[in-house]
Amino acid sequence: AQLGDKIAAKGKANFGAAADANTLQNANVQRLLQEEFSSVTPENSMKWEVIQPSLGTFNFQQSDALVDFAVENGLDIRGHTLVWHSQLPAYVDAIIDKDQLLALMENHINTTMSRYQGKIFQWDVVNEVFEEDGSFRNSVFFRLLGEEFIDTAFNIAASVDPSSKLYINDFNLDGPGPKIDAMIGLLGRLQTRGVPIDGVGSQAHLILGQVGSVGAQLARLAETGLEVAITELDIRIEAPVDQAKLIQQQQDYQTVVGDCIGIAACVGVTVWGVGDKDSWVDATFAGFDSPLLFDDGFVKKPAYAGVEAAL
C-alpha cells in the first residue's frame, strides 16, 4: 500500500478510498486498493436503505462482499453510516412515534454493528446533522427526538463495538461560517454530556482552487480534543478539464493532504473513490468532472503526485 504506507510513516492511521461490490468488479479498482490504499469505506452498501430496505429485513450481501475483500487484503474498514437522513427508506421517515423510532434506531445500529464487530476501525455513527445555516437538519431523528438522538446513537454504538472509533461526519466544514460553528458547539455539548464520541469527519467534497481554508477549519475541529479525519475527499473540476486545471488539482490535493499531515489530531485521509470513472461527481454536480487521483483508465493523474508530495 504505497499511499497507505507513506501516511503510516507520518504517524497516521490510513489513506483510504471508497469502493463497493459494484466498483470492485473492475480489476483496476481491486489492484489499486491493494497497491495504494490502506483502508476502504463502503460507498453505499452500509447505508440504511441497503442494509434494512424494509422494516425488520436485513440484507448484508453487498456489505459482506466489501468487508470480505477488505479483510482478505489487509485493508482497514471505515463503517459508513448508521444514522443519516438520506438513503433512508420511507418507512423510517414515516414514523411519528418517538419510542418506535428509538427502538428501530437501536435495532438497526445493533444489528449492523454487531455483524462486523471488531472489523471496523472507525464508524460514522451519525452523518450530516446540520443545515448550511447551522440549524439542525429536520430529519425524522431530530424531529422526534431532538438533539438527543445523537447522544442516543453514540451510546448504542459504544455498547455494541467498543473497539471502533465513533465519528460524527459532515460536509462543508471546509470554510468558516455557521455550519462549522454549530458543529464545534455540538461537539462541546456532547463532550460535556459524556457522550462516547471519538472523532469528527470532514467529508471535504471540494472544488478546484477553493481549498485554502481547509487547514484552519481542520485545526479548529482538532481543538475540540477529538480525532479528526478527512473522510470523503474529492476535488472536482469544472468542465472542460485541461492540463492547467489538472496541475491546479495536484496543488490542491497537496495542500489538503498536507493540512491533515500538519495537524496531530488528524488521523487519516479517505478519497471518495479510486478512479474518476466511478466518482459520484459526474452524476451529482452538473458540469463538474475528474475529481480523484486516477483517471477514467485508472492511470495516475497529477493529483496523485500532489498527494505523494504531501506525504
Catalytic residues: 232
Site membership for ligand XIL, residue 45 (CB under 6 A): no
The residues pairing with 126 across neighbouring beta strands, listed in sequence order, are 83, 168
Q: Which residues are CB-neighbours of 201 under 8 A, at least 6 positions away? A: 124, 167, 168, 169, 170, 228, 229, 230, 231, 232
Rounded Cα distance between 221 and 265, Å, is 9
CB of 10 to ligand XIL, least distance (A): 25
Provide φ and ψ at 15, rounded to 5°: -120, 110
Compare residues 49 and 308 and give the one whose CB is closer to ligand XIL. 49
Q: Looking at 43, 174, 252, 276, which residue binds ligand XIL (CB under 6 A)?
A: 43
Closer CB to ligand XIL, 227 or 232, in the complex = 232
Contact call for residue 285 and ligand XIL (CB under 6 A): no
Report the 10 Å Cβ neighbour count for 202.
27
CA distance 298 to 126: 32
45, 62, 112, 127: which one contacts ligand XIL (CB under 6 A)?
127
Number of residues that bind ligand XIL (CB under 6 A): 7
For ligand XIL, the binding residue among 45, 203, 249, 250 (CB under 6 A) is 203
**Binding of residue 44 to ligand XIL (CB under 6 A):** yes
H/E stretch holding 236 reads: strand 227-238
Q: How far is CA 31 from CA 14, 37, 240, 245, in A?
A: 17, 10, 29, 27
Residue 290 touching ligand XIL (CB under 6 A) = no
Span 228-257, contacts to ligand XIL by CB under 6 A: 232
Binding string, residues 6-25; x marks residues near ligand XIL by CB under 6 A: --------------------
> What residues between 86 and 125 interact with ligand XIL by CB under 6 A?
none
Cβ-based nearer residue to ligand XIL, 50 or 102: 50
Helix (H) or strand (E) segment spanning residue 100: helix 98-115
Of 203 and 249, the one with the shorter C-beta distance to ligand XIL is: 203
Is 142 among the residues that bind ligand XIL (CB under 6 A)?
no
Is 137 within 8 Å of 131 (Cβ atoms)? Answer: yes
State the Cα torsion 77-116-124-163 to the nearest 10°: -90
Q: Which is nearer to ligand XIL, 63 or 203 (CB)?
A: 203
Binding of ligand XIL at residue 276 (CB under 6 A)?
Answer: no
* 84 DSSP β-pair partners: none
Provide the binding-site residues for ligand XIL, judged by CB under 6 A: 43-44, 127, 171, 203, 232, 280
